Amino acid sequence: MLVGLVLAGGKSSRMQQDKALLAFAGTSLLTWAEALLRQSGCEEVLVSRNQPGFLADIYPDAGPLGGIYSALMHQTIGSSLVVLPVDMPFASPELLQHLINAGQARASACYFADCYLPMYLPVTQAARDFLQHLLATQGQGRVKALLHHINAIALPCPADLAPQLRNLNTPAQWQQATGQSPQ
């Protein structure tokens, strides 16, 4: 089973407001990301967001790895996750499908070189165990550490898709990319 995971549980401190609720293409970034994952072939979409009605982190305040770990624990071994941050509005189904196809063909976790998210992540006991240990002992960690531990494959990103791999973290980045103030 292919499951999408939107990482939308951050504090959005650099944006100074909840990024998931920013208006983009006539909807919110959160709704946009969910639709993108469905268009990319995900049978189910989870949203990591510490609010009622969403997937809550098992380890609070653990950053992206907290959301990824919680999603891993809610899926069966053998399924796969496509992990997408909510603040990457220019990603396309083509970009995610490239990642999914590579991950499925190699039966391995994959990401684009120099951009750790989005990622294709098979649900394995090794990934669960690594994150459980990391989060229980350190409280947080880096996505790069997970990818390294599970020997994820860094894919070259096709040049025409590379501009889609940008996060919008600040009001200035948002305005520059969309031409509007974040509201």
Q: Per-residue confidence of the chain (183 residues) as pLDDT tens digits?
A: 999 999 997 666 666 667 878 888 888 899 999 999 999 999 999 999 988 899 999 998 899 999 999 999 999 999 999 999 999 999 999 999 999 999 999 999 999 998 999 999 999 999 999 999 999 999 888 999 999 999 999 999 889 988 999 888 777 887 787 777 776
* Cβ-contact 153, 120 below 8 angstroms: no
Task: Examine residue 62 and state whether it is found in any structural domain, yes or no.
Answer: yes
Query: What is the number of structural domains in the chain?
Result: 1
Chain Cα centroid distance, residue 125: 20
Q: Give me the amino acid identity at 75.
A: Q
Contacts 24+ apart (CB under 8 A), 23-26: 23/183, 24/89, 24/178, 25/89
Task: Tell me, yes or no, whether 26 lies in a domain.
Answer: yes
* H helix or E strand, kind and range, residue 10: none
In a domain, 183, yes or no: no
44-48 vs 110-112, strand pairing mode: unpaired
Q: What CATH number has the domain bearing residue 71?
A: 3.90.550.10
Which structural domain, as residue segments, surrounds residue 11? 2-178
Query: Checking DSSP bridges between strand 110-112 and strand 115-122, what pairing results, if any?
Result: antiparallel
DSSP character at residue 16: T
What predicted TM-score, i.e. pTM, was given to this entire model? Answer: 0.94
Token pair 């189904």 in the structure block, residue: 93
Distance of CA 104 to the CA centre of its chain: 17
In a domain, 69, yes or no: yes
Does residue 121 lie within any of the structural domains? Answer: yes
